[in-house]
Amino acid sequence: MPNPNAELSSAYQTILKVVEQVEPRIAAATRAELTDQRGSLKLIASENYASLPVLATMGTWLSDKYAEGTVGHRFYAGCQNIDTVESVAAEHARELFGAEYAYAQPHSGIDANLTAFWAILAHKIEGPALTEFGAKTVNDLSEADWATLRKRFGDQKMLGMSLDAGGHLTHGFRPNISGKMFDQRSYGTDPTTQLLDYDQIAAAAREFKPLILVAGYSAYPRRIDFAKMKEIADEIGAVFMVDMAHFAGLVAGKVFTGNEDPVPFADVVTTTTHKSLRGPRGGLVLAKEEYAASVDRGCPLVLGGPLSHMMAAKAVALAEARTAEFRTYAQNVADNAQTLAEGLLKRGSTLVTGGTDNHIVLLDVSSFGLTGRQAESALLDAGVVTNRNSVPADPNGAWYTSGVRLGTPALTSRGFGAAEFDRVAELIVEVLSNTTPVTASTGKPGKAKYTLADGVAERVQGAADELLDAHPLYPGLEL
C-alpha cells in the first residue's frame, strides 16, 4: 500500500504554493513550524501530532457553512451535509466512550465546560423554576421571574480540584468565567503523599454542598477513582462532572477502565480532542440522556456557529481512536510515562507524588536549585520543549513555579518507546544539572535568568536529533 503521507506530500506542496502567492509569510511560518516540530523533543503533556487525514480534513470548504442549531434543526438552510458531519462525529464519540449522548460542537475545552455548566444550570435550576413560575419556556417568564432566576443562577456553588494541586482554570477559578459564575471552593491533595484524599473531598463536599462536583486535572500525574467521586456527589445530591481533557486518549484506548473510566459514573463529561486523544483542536461534551436536551442548547447559548470542518476532523480522529492501533498507542503512552518517571528518579530527580500512572510526569526542579521558568528555558535551549508548572504549595507562585510538566503523548505518536524515554530522562537531567541560576541585582537568587554550561545545549540537541531522526514525524511528507 502506498505511504499516504507521501501521497499527501504533493497535495501539501501545492497548497503551500497557493498560499504563498497570497501571503508568503503564512506559508513560510507553516513550513517553519513543521521543521520546528520535527526537530524538538515535544514533551508538553497537552500536545500531540494529529494524523495527516485529520489535518487534511480541517482544510476544506466545510468551514464556509453556517449551521447554528442542532442536527435536523438548524437556523440556516442547506445544512444537510453538516448534519451528516455532526451526526458521524457524535456517533463515533458515543460508541467510543460508551456515552448515552455526545455533542461535537464545542470549539475548545473552555467552550465544552461552559456548555456543560449551562446545561447543568438549565437542567437543575431553570427547569424547576419554569414549573414553579407556571411558564412553559423562558419566553413566558415575567421580568420579576427573570430577576429571581438570575439570582438563583448566581447563587450556585462548584467544588473542583485546586489549581495548586493540578486542577484547571475552568473549574471555578477567578481568571476564568467559571470563577465569576460560581461560588467556588476547591479540594487539594494530601500534603505528604500529594495524592487526592477522598475523605477530605467528601468532608469538603458535605460542608460546602456544591451544585456541581468537578473531577479532572491538567497537572496531576495520577488516576482518579470516579466511583468514589460519584459516591461523594450522590451523598450530597450534587451533579458529578468530569473534565477528562487530559486523559481522554487513555479512556478511549481502554487504559483507564472500571472505576478509572469517568463515563459510566459522571452526569456530564467534557474533553478536548487534541491532547492524548490525538485529534484536531476542539471540544466534546458527553452526557447522560437526562442532560441531552440542555447540552444541545450550547449553540447559540454560549457557542458561536459550529466549525463544521473541525467537527469533520473530530469524526476522523474518533474513527482512528476506535482502532486496535490506538489502544496500543494509549497503552504505550502510559508505559512510556512510567519509564520517563523511573529514568528521572534513578538519576536523583524529585517527582510530585513520587511517580506517575497516567501520561504526566511533574518534575519538581527545586532539587536542581532552579525555578520552573529557568528549567523550562534551559531545556528549550537544548531542544526539549516542556512547560513550567506549579507544584503543590509552590513557593515560587504560578508565574515562576518550581516544576516542569512533562507528557508522553506526542513522542509516543512518533514511535518513542522505553529506550528512547530513558534517554530523554538522561538528557533532561543533563541539562538541569548543568544549569545555574543567575543571582539577581538584589543579591537574592534570580527566578528567571540562568546559565547553561558550555556545550551542553549542543550536545543534548545532537542526542535529541539522533532520537528524532530515527522516529520521523509524518515520514514521507516533504515540503
Of the pair 44, 301, the CB lying nearest ligand DSN is at 44
Helix axes 80-97 and 308-321, enclosed angle (nearest 10): 30
Of the pair 109, 403, the CB lying nearest ligand DSN is at 109
Report residue 271 as a C-alpha cell. 474533553
Residues that bind ligand DSN (CB under 6 A): 46, 109, 218
Residue with cell 456527589: 233
Residue with cell 509524518: 474
Q: Where are the alpha helices (DSSP H) in 133-278?
A: 143-154, 177-181, 198-208, 226-236, 248-252
Sheet containing strand 183-187, edge to edge, reads: 101-103, 283-287, 268-272, 239-243, 212-215, 157-161, 183-187
- CB of 44 vs ligand DSN, minimal distance in Å: 7
Tell me how far the alpha carbon of residue 432 is from its chain's centroid: 27
Q: Where are the alpha helices (DSSP H) in 174-284?
A: 177-181, 198-208, 226-236, 248-252
Of the pair 47, 126, the CB lying nearest ligand DSN is at 47
Q: How big is the chain by its Cα radius of gyration, in Å?
A: 23
- CB of 235 vs ligand DSN, minimal distance in Å: 30
- CB of 223 vs ligand DSN, minimal distance in Å: 17
User: In which region does residue 341 sit, left (phi positive, over 0), alpha (psi from -120 to 50) or beta (all else)?
Assistant: alpha
Q: Is the peptide bond before 300 cis (omega within 30 degrees of 0)?
A: yes
Of the pair 109, 306, the CB lying nearest ligand DSN is at 109
Question: Do the Cβ atoms of 82 and 90 come closer than 8 Å?
Answer: no
Of the pair 31, 223, the CB lying nearest ligand DSN is at 223
CA distances from 301 to 20, 94, 110, 228, 434 (A): 38, 23, 14, 33, 52
Q: Pairing state of beta strands 183-187 and 157-161?
A: parallel
- CB of 254 vs ligand DSN, minimal distance in Å: 23
Residue sitting closest to ligand DSN (CB): 46
Of the pair 218, 358, the CB lying nearest ligand DSN is at 218
- CB of 270 vs ligand DSN, minimal distance in Å: 11
Report residue 172 as a C-alpha cell. 471555578
d(CA 43, CA 361): 10
Report residue 462 as a C-alpha cell. 545532537
Q: Pairing state of beta strands 212-215 and 157-161?
A: parallel
- CB of 272 vs ligand DSN, minimal distance in Å: 7
User: In the 8-state DSSP scheme, what is residue 440?
Assistant: P
- CB of 46 vs ligand DSN, minimal distance in Å: 3
Question: Do the Cβ atoms of 403 and 365 come closer than 8 Å?
Answer: yes
Of the pair 271, 371, the CB lying nearest ligand DSN is at 271
Of the pair 194, 218, the CB lying nearest ligand DSN is at 218
d(CA 189, CA 165): 6
Of the pair 109, 188, the CB lying nearest ligand DSN is at 109
Of the pair 67, 404, the CB lying nearest ligand DSN is at 404
Of the pair 163, 311, the CB lying nearest ligand DSN is at 163
Name which of 272, 412, 265 is nearest 339 in CA terms: 412
Name which of 39, 45, 49 is nearest 406 in CA terms: 45
d(CA 328, CA 345): 26
- CB of 247 vs ligand DSN, minimal distance in Å: 11
